[in-house]
Each structure stands twice: as structure tokens, then as C-alpha cells.
Amino acid sequence: MTSQVREKLRSMEARYEELLRRVSDPAVQSDQAAYRTLSKTVVELQPVVEGYQAWLALDRQLAENRELAGGDDPEMSALAREEIPGLEASMTALEGRLRLLLVPKDPNDDRNVVLELRAGTGGDEAALFAGDLYRMYSRYADRRGWKIDVHSINENGTGGLKEVIASVEGRGVYGLLKYESGVHRVQRVPATEASGRIHTSTATVAVLPEAEEVDVQIDPKDLRIDTFCSSGPGGQSVNTTYSAVRITHLPSGLVVSQQDEKSQIKNRQKAMKVLRSRLYEMELRKQQDAIAKERRGQVGTGERSEKIRTYNFRENRITDHRINFTMHQLQYALDGDLDELIEPMNAHVQAEKLKQVTEEAGPDQ
């Protein structure tokens, strides 16, 4: 293990012990917000510290065995030499796990998300594909026990979706869905195609980490809020009450409309949630653009202008172009069984981050 890694682990161990002392302080325990924050950090540090302490114990035992192996007692020397390869193997395996634990965690991974899907090129077929993708993510959410709350939905006349915006709430939502952002391409024969010719259409997916009010400060003077009559299904109140809301964020030019609820207050709350998440993502993208080299190293994840995946119905195939991964179980994926697609992408990015951590640490000493 390099001296840089050991120093980092020692620093994390000292911080962990300090946090344990603070968490046991009655003054901290009386402040629920502070107690939750500190307890969460303790839980995050615990596996790293315990792993490091286990590695130190193995290191001490290995040093003792090497000393005994060079001693005058033939029997003890032989036993010590016999144990050395196993101790070295255990230390190497534990060091690998520690390096993984040292990979920086995305602080947004535990957040809920705002999921936005839009039909791209391909007319009605693109809208149908957008609808397929929304059902796919909805079924995946059901499998995970997540909750979906639709903010707005714009259907076309063929049963497809021009646009849908929804919140997805649950444990680790952003961490699992964040690499779904991008252009998704479908290749299939539309139901309206008499000649059997394959059409290519696209839909875009955006996964935005849901922002809290403390994350994004919005000056009310920067907002223009317009109300108007809802359109579409909704009962007697449609076209009679000004329940629909359109919020324009003047500095950025972002516009969010919401009309699904009959209450203007609820529509405004939902619109503000989407606006905050979009502004938060804009700020994240500015930070990411500042380290564009690293983003390119992570196979361009998150760039919506890129074609990230192709769904080929004739070949029962889905291909993720970012990592050159292909699976031949398209219908399973559309039914919400997405783990086989999501896990390889997350594993690839994790491996790239681990590689970077290893390079920064330098060669083992």
C-alpha cells in the first residue's frame, strides 16, 4: 500500500473517531438535524475504517511471521513461513476493497430524480418509443419499490408520448438512473408499415437529481409566474379556472408549465420542483464541463447529444454504445428488468474512477 493511501486512511480513521465522540455528545443529540448529518457520515466512514484496521492487523501479523521465519526455532520458523503467503494474499485482497471504498461517492446518488422523456426524430413512431421507455422505467421503479409522480404528460393521437415529466422517489434512485440520460435509438418495423421496412427513431431521456430549496436559491424577483386555464381532461374546472401555472426563470430563460392538478397551488409547487432540479443540473453541468477531460474518460456519460443506446427489435438486441455492451433480451428490459443494462455501465464508470485513484496514489511501496 502506498504512503499516500495510508495517510488518507489514517486521516479518515482520525475523523471517524472524532465524529464518534461528537455523536455521543448530548448537545449534538438534542439537535436532530446535526445528529442525522453526523450519523450519516459515521455510517459512510465505518466500512473504510474497519477495513483499514483489519489491514493493519494483518500487516502486524505478517511482520511477526517474517521475524519468526528467520528465528532459531525450526518448527516455529516453518509454521511462520507456511502462513506468510496466505497473509499476503489476504492483505492484497483487502487493499483492493479499500481502494474501491476510497473511490469518491457521488453525493447525489441517494437523491430522488426528475425524469424527463421526449420524442425525438421519427414522428409518431418516436412518440410510441418514448411511451415504451416511460413504461420501461415505470416498471423498473415498481420492481425497486420506488414511487412515480407524474408532473406533466403530453400524448399524441396514436397512443405515444410527445413528452412526460415525472418525479421518481426512493432509495438510491439517482445513483442507478443517472447514466440513462441521453439519446435512445429504436430500430423496428412500425405497425403502420405495410412493406415491413425497418424505421429508425429516437427519444431523449434526462435524469435530473431532485434539488431541495437549500441547494438552489431562487430570488422571487427572478421569476415571472403566469396562470392560465388548463386544457384537456380534468372535469368541469377545465377552461373555467386559472389553475395552470407557467413559471419563467428570467436569468436562465428556463420555462416550466404545470397543469395536471386542479389546484393552482399544487401546480405551482410541482413546477418549482422541476425548475429547481433543472437549475441544479445546470450548475452541475458547469462544474462537470470544468473537468471535461475526466468526463470524456467516463465514456461521455450524461451528454444528451450522444446516442447512448440502440434497441433493435428484429434482432431482440439492446446495445449500449458507450461501453460496447450488448444483450439479447430486449423484451425483458422493456418489462422493467433493467439491472443487466444498468449494472455494467455503473461498473465501468466505477472501474474508471478506481483506475484514476490508483494512478494518483502511485506505485505500491
Task: Work out the average pLDDT over 200-221.
Answer: 83
Residue 359 confidence (pLDDT): 67
Q: Could you tell me the CA-to-CA distances from 152 to 65, 128, 161, 257, 263 in Å, in that order?
A: 67, 17, 11, 8, 14
The architecture CATH gives domain 113-210+304-353? 2-Layer Sandwich (3.30)
C-alpha cell at 234: 380534468
* Structure confidence by residue, pLDDT tens digits, 59-115: 999 999 999 988 888 889 999 999 999 999 999 999 888 887 887 778 888 889 999
pLDDT for 363 equals: 60
Distance CA 202, CA 206 (A): 13
The lowest-confidence range among 116-120, 279-283, 290-294 is: 290-294
Fold (topology level) of 220-287 = Double Stranded RNA Binding Domain (3.30.160)
Residue 137 · residue 247 · CB < 8 Å: no
Beta strands in 197-278 (DSSP E): 199-209, 223-228, 244-249, 254-258
**Which has the minimum average pLDDT: 16-25, 188-197, 227-236?**
227-236
- pLDDT of 324 > 50? The answer is yes
Of 149-153, 168-172, 302-306, the one with minimum mean pLDDT is 302-306
Annotated domain spans of the chain: 3-102, 113-210+304-353, 220-287
Residue 21's region, left for phi above 0, alpha for psi from -120 to 50, else beta, is alpha
Name, of 163-172, 254-263, 291-300, the range with top average pLDDT.
163-172
Confidence of residue 296 (pLDDT cuts 50, 70, 90): very low
Instruction: Tell me the pTM.
Output: 0.66
pLDDT of 91 reads 92
313, amino acid identity: F
Share of the chain above pLDDT 90, in %: 44
What integer best gives the mean pLDDT of the chain? 85
